[in-house]
Amino acid sequence: MLELKDVSFNIRKDGEDMPLLEEISLHVPKGHFMAIVGPSGCGKTTLLKTIAGLNPESAGSLHWNGRNLSEDGDFSPAEIGYVPQFSIAYDPLTIDESVEAATRLRVRSATTGELDHRIDRVLEETGLTAISDRHVKILSGGQKRRLGLAMELVSDPGILLCDEVTSGLDPRSEREIVRLLHDLSRKDGRIVLSVTHSLSHLELYDSILVLHEGRVAFHGPPERLTHYFSVHDTEEVYPRLATQTADRWHQSWVKHRDSYRKMLEHNREKLIANGGLQVPAEPTETAGQDTAAATETPAPPETRKNKPATTPPAGPPPIKTPGFFSQFATLLSRRWRIFFRDKGQVFLQLAILICFPIIVTLFSDKASGNIRRYSDTRPSDVFTEIQEVQSVRADQAKVGSAVSGIIMFQVVLLALMGSNNSAREIASERQIYEKEKFGGLRPSAYLASKVAFLSCLVITQSLWMAFFVNFFGPFRGDFVQHAAFLLLINASMTAICLAISSLMRTAEQASLLSIYLVGFQLPLSGAVLALPENIDAFTRPFISAYWAWSGSVEALQTQVHSAVKSVIDTSLSAQGACLYALCAHIAVALIAAWIGASRPQWD
């Protein structure tokens, strides 16, 4: 049973509290199918999110099976299913793969047979068995809604919240979805609450809740809706609502709600007597508990998220959420599958992997030239000595500038690779991730899977760049040290852009900021022009490209190192300092990525 007692939800606007929901009181028994309707902006989705715990109630309390959600802990992930307006499946996957991934992330299965049985049962319940091998990207709107329902049903939730799952569908598909939700409400006493703007097919619902400007204007049987609002057709309800204020409608409803509640109870008793509804017994509560629940002061909104969920007093054993390693393995496997099925992304990665090293080697001839040494004997005249000094310096300038430029070129290209690797990695799937996190996904498992996937790209790109350039344009120094710094600059920029991706709300914001970040690496590194000392001291600690370039230059042969030093104005740092700086960049970026992945960013 779900019960709301004077629930309100406010937001701060211009320094004042603005109510989006006011004093919502509802009693929804097991096996009940309820529609939440009302004009746009009346608070339908806000109410659904408040019930789900995504919006902390500002006042009042919510109760689920005898448990005060405001005080005793929120729904456990297995107790509740939430189907949002957006698609919660990846386009490259098939229906079967999407449901399997959802099951592996939400339900701990003892055996593979148990897992397969659960998947098959859910596909059958939602009518997707015959098309389970179809890819998500080719599904119709109605089929995607069914898939969303299937992915929520894997944990057998006792309450299912549906937000506009019939929007944008043709009349036939809309009726099929409403009929499916009706049938799901008759299974195991499941409560189904469906937010909809449509006033069609209301006869399939057990009750209709009408909201107007965040307040209850009506809650009763669908056949009494037109009578209550004194209209001839349901389509006239919304214009009728606009004729009075929300307070007037609510005051009118308060006078009549007891009689309409009795109607709902009578209809329910009739349905049970006819065998149309079979539900488990409600958990027993003592009178003292009822009194306490009604008189206690509601806890602060934060308690719904800070307190652990308690075990329901009755029913089957609770479904356990899979552990870290199980979720990690599922996410990593799914990420690689999505990667290889995205032909555009695979082609881009291969093009970058092949073309970038080739571009670097085009400049290798200038860097491979000999640097003339000073003769061991002193020239016989001053003119010859001056010529020798000029020749040596010319060779040093030619080779030194070429080597320095090629190293920085590699560094910037790998920084660009890192940005391409991760700038959209989290932000592009923000909605799906937030939905999966709501269903029990551990942020640690999610972030670890991203780090593991990106690490494979970073290692492949960096080592291939190092080996290719060394083979076709020999690096004149310690190859291992140079390869290590190329690896670190790629890892550093990948981690930083991953952090940006986790902190930004949209993929466009993350991509734009990452592009700017890479663009400033070259001018602020000091490899081309030395910055003023007061600016350089401030910017240098944050420029990954400088530390990778400086560390690679320090790994050069003595003569080549001297040549590079002769043409640059920027002071170089010791290899140890460069190593520690890049590792610090990676560590700080991963911490920032963890913060972004952990905090709720549900739209």
pLDDT in tens, 166-195: 888 888 999 999 999 999 998 888 999 999
Residues 197 and 237 in one domain: yes
Q: For residue 199, which of 160, 180, 163, 171 has the smallest C-alpha distance?
A: 171
SS3 54: coil
The more confident residue out of 496 and 304 is: 496
Those residues with Cβ within 8 angstroms of residue 305's Cβ, 6 or more apart along the chain or in another chain: 53, 56, 74
Residues 273 and 146 in one domain: no
Please say whether the beta carbons of 480 and 551 come within 8 A: no
pLDDT in tens, 260-317: 999 999 999 999 888 888 777 655 443 334 333 333 333 444 445 444 444 444 556 6
Q: What percent of the chain has pLDDT over 70?
A: 86
Res. 492: pLDDT tops 80: yes
Please report the pLDDT score of residue 539 as a whole number.
82
Please report the pLDDT score of residue 288 as a whole number.
38
- Residue that terminates a domain, selected from 96, 125, 156: 156
Residues 357 and 421 in one domain: yes
Please report the pLDDT score of residue 312 as a whole number.
45
Res. 573: pLDDT tops 90: no
Residue range of the domain that includes 277: 1-79+162-299
Please say whether the beta carbons of 553 and 564 come within 8 A: yes
Residues 339 and 263 in one domain: no
Weakest mean pLDDT among 37-46, 319-328, 381-390: 381-390
Report how far apart, in Å, the C-alpha atoms of 171 and of each of 166, 176, 201, 208, 503 are. Answer: 9, 9, 10, 19, 40
Residues 159 and 146: their CA atoms lie apart, in Å, by 17
Residues 114 and 222 in one domain: no
Please report the pLDDT score of residue 390 as a whole number.
60
Q: What percent of the chain has pLDDT over 90?
A: 60
**Domain CATH number, residue 176:** 3.40.50.300
Report the predicted TM-score, pTM, of the whole model to 2 decimal places. 0.87
- The structure tokens listed for 10 are 């406010």
Number of domains into which the chain is organized: 3
Weakest mean pLDDT among 78-82, 165-169, 218-222: 165-169
Residues 572 and 578: their CA atoms lie apart, in Å, by 9
In a domain, 117, yes or no: yes
The more confident residue out of 556 and 176 is: 176
Task: Kindly report the number of other CB atoms within 10 A of residue 179's CB atom.
Answer: 12
Residues 170 and 142: their CA atoms lie apart, in Å, by 9
- Residue that terminates a domain, selected from 102, 123, 156: 156
Amino acid at 402: A
Please report the pLDDT score of residue 560 as a whole number.
72
Residues 449 and 542 in one domain: yes
In a domain, 313, yes or no: no
pLDDT in tens, 500-535: 999 998 999 999 999 999 888 878 887 767 777 777
Res. 579: pLDDT tops 80: yes
Please report the pLDDT score of residue 197 as a whole number.
87
Residues 574 and 427 in one domain: yes
The more confident residue out of 583 and 520 is: 583
